[in-house]
Structure 1
Amino acid sequence: MANRRAIESVDTTLRDIMDTEQIFGGKVVVFGGDFRQTLPVIRYGKKEDFIEASLVKSPLIWPTIRRLKLVHNIRANEDPAFCEYLMKIGDGTEQLVGRDKIKIPSSFIIPCTNEDTSLDALFQSVYPNLTCFETDPYSLMSKAILTPKNEIADEINSILIDRFPGESKCYVSFDEPLDSKQMHCKDYLHTLSPAGLPPHKLILKKNCPIILLRNLNPSEGLCNGTRLVCDSFEDHLISCLIAVGEYKGKHVFILRIPLEPSKDENCPIPFKRTQFPIKICFAMTINKAQGQTLDFVGIYLKGPVFSHGQLYVAMSRAKKAESVKMIIFSDDGQNKLTNITNNIVYQEILEYISQSTVTRNKN
């Protein structure tokens, strides 16, 4: 979900271009969003910061918007009980255990013994036979393992690419400090993996799933978040097939480009990484999965979800309850999940949302 200040900047720009004081320069702008899902990311932010960054808190824009309320989760419409459970999670009305925990039904849970065996059980549930994807790589795209943090997703991807059949190809990035006085730190830069950047060593195999990290050519389907299948490898070029959406099956080429970490990543040394703008995507973060529809979802919670809406987003990627399996590690060994702010923030946001004028189904 976009930060309201970015939307306000677009409003200001359009007013300047059109030389008018009308909202968005008199142009029709259509927004889509769900406040049950993840709110704008505010690094080290608190509940008040998430709400303040949301569009509902914009004094100029929100009062002028005509709102259409979407009330049904069509993705899970085939399983009414699962759909109702998701809405309780999203609305924050599911019964709490203690102050900020909810109990996940045992039907979703893969029992935890230790980390290694539990991960193997999750892999077996989501990807029971990796060799079958050599002949049908597109079937990989209907499955994913979701986790709250990038470092855990990277660990899972590293394990699964090793198990994936085929010969590997390793692409090493060129890292360069932005300050010429810090050229001696190049080896240290290789160890950094900021969010939104590909790894220093990118290990790929034919037919493995990858996800694009930048908007390269939206008109041709190459957008941030597009999932692809690797087809062939050259030293400075990767041949891929778009795996989902309108452009599914389209043959595209990915080149190395210079990339810089986001300014809010607080990198100790500002630097530029020249690498292919992709990552392996057997596993991805919950935030990155927002908007995806999957046939089977594995959720790995080594720690609790830490942001509003993450639990709702993770579970609602699937169409049926039987298509969700979870591993939860908790201090007390019980199947509880700390769901910080989810049941609090949404209720407070509702205070700023007036009665909707039209009701539609939610896709």
Structure 2
Amino acid sequence: MRSINDHQFAEFLLRVGDGSEQVINDEMIRVPECMVVPWESDQSINLIIDEVFPNLGDHVNDARYMVDRALITPINNDVGVLNEKIINMFPVEEITLYSFDSVEDDIRNLYQPEFLNSITAGGLPPHKLTLKVGAPIMLLRNIDPKLGLCNDTRLLCRGSYQNLIDAEILTGQFAGTRVFLPRIPLKSAENAGLPFQLTRKQFPVKLSLCLTINKSHGQTIHM
């Protein structure tokens, strides 16, 4: 349905879904040339960013521009790299917010803060959260569903301070509403692959200029 105006792409998706698309070695599908940017190191990444976020510097604080655009990638590591690369293009001062990490019942102090800070478990915000006014962010927890503050809600950062983030909801029936987000303690999931449960006190958001495929589910991006 989302590809209804692009018949060639819609037909390609249907063939992939039906299992009728031709495959090459190891059942790999060749992506059509019109959908591919040839790999030329960082230059290729810059081309994709410029294609998705044209004239980015002229659209800081433009809610409509930001909500209609995002890069999508399979893994969290690439999300972090791309978000950092794009946020550095914003021509405004950056704000860095650090988390407070701990492990419950760690009486012997087996886990040093530097080690805990380095953990990037799925579903947790980063230890070092770098924001800029005008940057799109995504909520990582259900804070207040009645006011539209649900997991995966996209917002626009309007201001950031040590103990709160001033943000504007970008999607849903509460789009345009200004909200204040506090730091809250967040626990790592049981399937995070850690021998302990990490508690990270941080703002429950991360940049959403780039999203994982998983996080993009349910998002409507009009570009």
Measured on the aligned residues, the alpha-carbon RMSD in Å equals 1.4
SS in 1 for 2:141: coil
Residue number among 89, 106, 128 corresponding to 2:33 in the alignment: 106
Large movers: runs of 4+ above 4 Å: none
Is the CA contact 1:76–1:83 (under 8 Å) kept in the aligned structure 2?
yes
Q: d(CA) in 2 for partners of 1:102 and 1:233?
A: 44
Question: Are 1:118 and 2:44 an aligned pair?
Answer: yes
1:118/1:271 CA distance change after superposition, 3 Å: same
Structure 2: which amino acid aligns with 1:260? K
Residue number among 210, 219, 241 corresponding to 2:168 in the alignment: 241
SS in 1 for 2:176: coil
| TM-score (norm: length of structure 1) | 0.59
Which range moved further: 157-166 or 190-199?
157-166
SS in 1 for 2:54: coil
Q: d(CA) in 2 for partners of 1:205 and 1:182?
A: 38
Aligned partner of 1:276 in structure 2 is 203
Q: d(CA) in 2 for partners of 1:236 and 1:268?
A: 30
Q: CA deviation at 1:169?
A: 1.0
- CA deviations on 1:97-124 (whole Å, 9 max, x unpaired) are 133201111111111122x111111111
SS in 2 for 1:118: helix
- CA deviations on 1:65-92 (whole Å, 9 max, x unpaired) are xxxxxxxxx2221222322211222232
The structure carrying a bigger helix percent of its residues is 1
Aligned partner of 1:160 in structure 2 is 86
Q: d(CA) in 2 for partners of 1:225 and 1:92?
A: 31
- What are the ranges of 5 or more consecutive residues in structure 1 without an aligned counterpart? 1-73, 297-363
Q: CA deviation at 1:145?
A: 0.7
Aligned partner of 2:154 in structure 1 is 227
Q: CA deviation at 1:132?
A: 1.9
Question: Are 1:264 and 2:191 an aligned pair?
Answer: yes
Equivalent residues in 2 for 1:10-159 (5 A)?
A: 74-114=1-41, 116-159=42-85
Q: d(CA) in 2 for partners of 1:104 and 1:154?
A: 25
Structure 2: which amino acid aligns with 1:171? L
Q: CA deviation at 1:295?
A: 2.6
Q: d(CA) in 1 for partners of 2:182 and 2:108?
A: 27
Q: CA deviation at 1:266?
A: 1.0
Structure 2: which amino acid aligns with 1:186? P
Q: CA deviation at 1:241?
A: 0.3
Report the structure number with the largest CA radius of gyration. 1
Structure 2: which amino acid aligns with 1:247? F
Q: CA deviation at 1:182?
A: 4.8
Answer 1 or 2: higher relative contact order, Cα 8 Å, separation at least 6. 1
Q: CA deviation at 1:150?
A: 0.5
SS in 2 for 1:163: coil
Q: CA deviation at 1:175?
A: 0.5
Aligned partner of 1:40 in structure 2 is none
Identity of aligned residues (%): 37
1:267/1:249 CA distance change after superposition, 3 Å: same
Give the aligned length: 222
